[in-house]
């Protein structure tokens, strides 16, 4: 007789894939007008990613959280900027780019973020 509690455990990173998939779905559901609740829900999901700020996907996630904070603070929506970040996140977890590719990707995301970052005092 088999033990029902002896089910195979999911791979340790399977939760990460679920967070990413949920974030992709939430971005897809956003409309063209500012939606504070939608952005905050997305931010909560993205913030649950366990590797926020670490090399690779975590760097992308940290940038996405920053973009979400900026959009919420300025009461704006830019679905394309959000999609760029989510696609970069997917790229990072599926392809594992080398250092040069990763640096280029992060620089590109920084450029997107700069569109919504607080203006710097001169």
CB proximity list for 44: less than 8 A, separation 6 or greater: none
Does the pTM surpass 0.85? The reply is no
- Structural domain including 51 reads 16-27+34-114
Report the alpha-carbon distance of residue 22 to residue 44 in Å, rounded: 11
**Total structural domains within the chain:** 1
Q: How far apart, in whole angstroms, are the C-alpha atoms of residue 108 and residue 102?
A: 10
In a domain, 65, yes or no: yes
Can you give the pLDDT at residue 121? 41
CB count in 10 Å sphere of residue 107: 9
pLDDT tens, 30-63? 999 999 999 999 999 999 988 776 778 899 999 9
pLDDT tens digits, one per residue of 69-101: 999 999 999 999 999 999 999 999 888 788 999
Per-residue pLDDT for 114 more than 80?
yes
Q: Considering the domain boundaries, does residue 41 fall inside one? A: yes
With both helix axes pointing from N to C terminus, report the angle between 36-47 and 14-29 in degrees, rounded to the nearest 10: 170
């Amino acid at each position: 007789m088999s033990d029902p509690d002896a089910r195979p455990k999911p791979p340790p990173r399977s939760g990460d894939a679920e967070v990413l998939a949920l974030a992709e779905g939430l971005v897809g559901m956003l409309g063209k007008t500012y939606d504070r609740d939608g952005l905050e829900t997305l931010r909560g999901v993205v913030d649950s990613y366990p590797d926020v700020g670490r090399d690779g996907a975590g760097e992308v996630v940290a940038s996405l959280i920053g973009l979400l904070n900026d959009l919420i603070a300025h009461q704006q929506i830019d679905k394309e900027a959000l999609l760029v970040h989510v696609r970069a996140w997917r790229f990072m977890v599926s392809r594992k780019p080398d250092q040069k590719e990763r640096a280029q990707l992060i620089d590109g995301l920084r450029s997107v973020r700069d569109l919504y970052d607080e203006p710097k005092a001169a």
